[in-house]
Amino acid sequence: MRRPPALPSQPGPPFDHLTARRLRVALGMGPEHVAYGLRVSYGLPYVTPDLVLAWERGIVSPTSPELTALAGVLWCSPGELIGRPRTLREHRVARGIAPEDVARALGLELHVYLGMEEQDAWRGTDRQSTALAELLELSLPDFVAVTGREKRLAECLRGAVGTRWQAYVRQVARIVPLDRRLVEDTLRELHRQYQGQMVSTLSWGGGGARSAEAGQEFLDGIVERFWEAVEGPP
């Protein structure tokens, strides 16, 4: 299953190994058929049935070129084999866009853009950020994550639910381009939920330890709770 040392070890996007196996089975193909297609049609001579099975079992993940080739063999788009992307690079690969095309569209030198991907640190202007969101079709949560604002958002949200939520409205509104009233309503509700949970767990008995555990669980998922509250019920 090992790749030849001469080949660069290029990390791939998050791989949905269960979908890969499901698609292979639906096509009536065995791992040996997939491996053969990758060797003959896509010039990957080192791929064996064992490597295909390792991908499908989540033991190892294919690199970006391997994933693209695998999508070709399985008659699907690369995006269908990718789990939920998180980083700038993962979103680009999911859309099947070359880094040169992204750099050109944003008015960046290629090496500058690739440096941002490598460091997972977006440093574009507001105009470039808007263009990036349009090009990669980013949802608002993805846009906040890709542009490096999610960590700061989480810090503000934790402060808002733990102290006076009103003091964080302006900060959150600067991070997330949402209507101020919506931000206020969301922070108020998250604060109510958090404080209510802390009070209820303290009243159960067993006191501080249980309350601290419940509170930490709430805080760990604070960003997801924020987006759920913003988006409302499905």
CB 132 within 8 A of CB 138: yes
Between CA 27 and CA 22 the distance in angstroms is 9
One-letter amino acid of 109 = E
Three-class HEC string of the chain: CCCCCCCCCCCCCCECHHHHHHHHHHCCCCHHHHHHHHHHHHCCCCCCHHHHHHHHCCCCCCCHHHHHHHHHHCCCCHHHHECCCCCHHHHHHHCCCCHHHHHHHHCCCHHHHHHHHHHCCCCCCHHHHHHHHHHCCCCHHHHHHHCCCHHHHHHHHHHHHHCCHHHHHHHHHHHCCCCHHHHHHHHHHHHHHHHHHHHHHHHCCCHHHHHHHHHHHHHHCHHHHHHHHHHCCC
From residue 188, alpha-carbon distances to 38, 99, 148, 163, 183 in Å are: 54, 41, 25, 11, 8
Specify whether the CB–CB gap between 144 and 175 falls below 8 A: yes
pLDDT in tens, the chain (234 residues): 444 433 344 556 678 888 999 999 999 999 999 999 999 999 999 999 999 999 988 788 899 899 999 999 999 999 889 877 778 888 888 788 999 999 999 999 999 999 999 888 899 998 999 999 999 999 999 999 888 888 899 999 999 999 999 999 999 999 998 999 999 999 999 999 999 888 776 655 555 555 667 778 888 889 989 999 998 665
User: d(Cα 155, Cα 164) in Å, to the nearest integer?
Assistant: 14
Two structure tokens written together for 145: 């994550």
Q: What is the pLDDT of residue 85?
A: 79
Distance between CA atoms of residues 52 and 1, nearest Å: 9
